[in-house]
Every structure is written in structure tokens, then in C-alpha cells.
Chains A and B, each alone.
Chain A
Amino acid sequence: DGGITQSPKYLFRKEGQNVTLSCEQNLNHDAMYWYRQDPGQGLRLIYYSQIVNDFQKGDIAEGYSVSREKKESFPLTVTSAQKNPTAFYLCASSIDPWGGNTEAFFGQGTRLTVV
């Protein structure tokens, strides 16, 4: 089945640690996205990538980093510079990075908690 796989489903981070969230897609989509979800705030865009080896900051990129070395993969690193990382993180992809009229497909999410 084609889709987006995020792992792990639950992740715990100690203060000062960097952690990496995995996102893999087998939909052959060019564009990939990372969103952060907090209660009552909807989804906010962290980073997006329109093509391999290229990515752009979204609205809340501070304290996060990404890479796009393969079309299928778009890992997100939450660094120690992110002061409030506890949230639900969603990875998405879309077939067309331009135009705006194609829907995004979402993974099942990773819930990150700082302990």
C-alpha cells in the first residue's frame, strides 16, 4: 500500500537532547512537509521541500532542521534550541509542489514529549 510512514509513534526527549523524527513516503511525491500541531492552534508549517536536496523554512522553523537526500525521505531533527518541543508532529506529501490545487497526504504522526 502506498502511503506515508512516520516513526516512532511516541518519542520522549530529555532536556538538551536532539531527536530525529522519521518520515518515509512511497507515493513518488515530489513535495514533502513537516507540520507541528498544538491543541487549539491547528497545524503550523515547520519546513517544506519541493525537490530532492532542497528545502525551505516554514512559519516556525526555529529550533528544527531537516534534510532531503532522497525523494522518499524527509527526516526532521528537533534540536535543543527548540524550547517548547512537546507537540504532535505530522509529515505530509503532495504530488505537485506548485499550483496549490493538489491535496496533501499525511502520515500518522509522532507525539514528542519532553521529560
Chain B
Amino acid sequence: AQSVTQLGSHVSVSEGALVLLRCNYSSSVPPYLFWYVQYPNQGLQLLLKYTTGATLVKGINGFEAEFKKSETSFHLTKPSAHMSDAAEYFCAVSFSGGYNKLIFGAGTRLAVHP
């Protein structure tokens, strides 16, 4: 069965430090991978997605993620954290064939300290 695991429900970094949010997936077929961000009491906004092609994907707000098939991972990074990056981040996976269903990880709450 397909699943998504986000390591660390809470991550805390200092402003200006590297942000690394981890996502691993389980799948027997090639996945499509997404990262979404959610601010308090808001909906989800797409940060970036991997479908095919280049495995390093750049998204909005300076975030990027790299699809590593051998490690079944899609970790999200940002070189320098900003206070405005404090939010909850969700990794999600979907697959070709069937309906367009997203399977979400449990989320990682990112705190950024001055």
C-alpha cells in the first residue's frame, strides 16, 4: 500500500539557518510528489511538485526538493529560514492511473526563532 512518512512532527530552526523537512514514501509504482504549506486556520498552498524530468525541483519562497528514487525520499530544503516560513508543511504523493488521489503525510510544524 502507498504511504507517506514525514520524520519529525515539529522542527525548530533559527532565522537564517538551513531548513530540512524529511519525507519518505512507500510505493510500488512511480510516484508524483508534492509539498504543501499551511498557515494557521488556512487552506493548503502548493510549494512545489515533482512529476517527471529533473529530480531537483524548485518552488516558491526559496524552497526546493530533490526526488531520490533509490532512497524513496523527497526532502524539502531552504538554505536560509525566514520568520515567515513558520507554518505546517505536508508532503503528499499520488500516482498515475485511477483517480487523482493525494495521500498526505502527517505534517511537520516548522518553528523559526530569531
Which residues of A come within 8 Å of B, CB atoms? 4, 6, 31, 33, 40-45, 48, 50, 56, 58, 88, 90, 92, 94, 96-109, 111
Contact = CB atoms under 8 A, between A and B. Distances in A.
A101 B94 contact: yes
Nearest to B34: A103
27 contacts: A40-B106, A40-B107, A41-B106, A42-B90, A42-B104, A42-B106, A43-B44, A43-B102, A48-B99, A48-B101, A88-B41, A97-B100, A98-B98, A98-B99, A99-B96, A99-B100, A100-B32, A100-B101, A101-B49, A101-B51, A101-B96, A102-B100, A103-B34, A103-B46, A105-B46, A106-B36, A108-B43
Which 4 pairs show the lowest CB-CB distances between chains A and B? A106-B43, A100-B94, A42-B104, A101-B51
Nearest to B30: A100
Contacts of A88: 41
A65 B9 CA distance: 31
A50 B45 CA distance: 21
B43 A109 contact: yes
A56 B98 CA distance: 12
Given A58-B101, A99-B96, 7 more contacts: A42-B105, A88-B41, A97-B100, A101-B32, A101-B94, A104-B46, A104-B100
B99 A97 contact: yes
Nearest to A3: B43
Contacts of A103: 34, 46, 49
Nearest to A6: B43
A98 B102 CA distance: 11
B107 A90 contact: no
Given A42-B105, A101-B51, A109 B42 contact: yes
B93 to A, nearest CB: 9
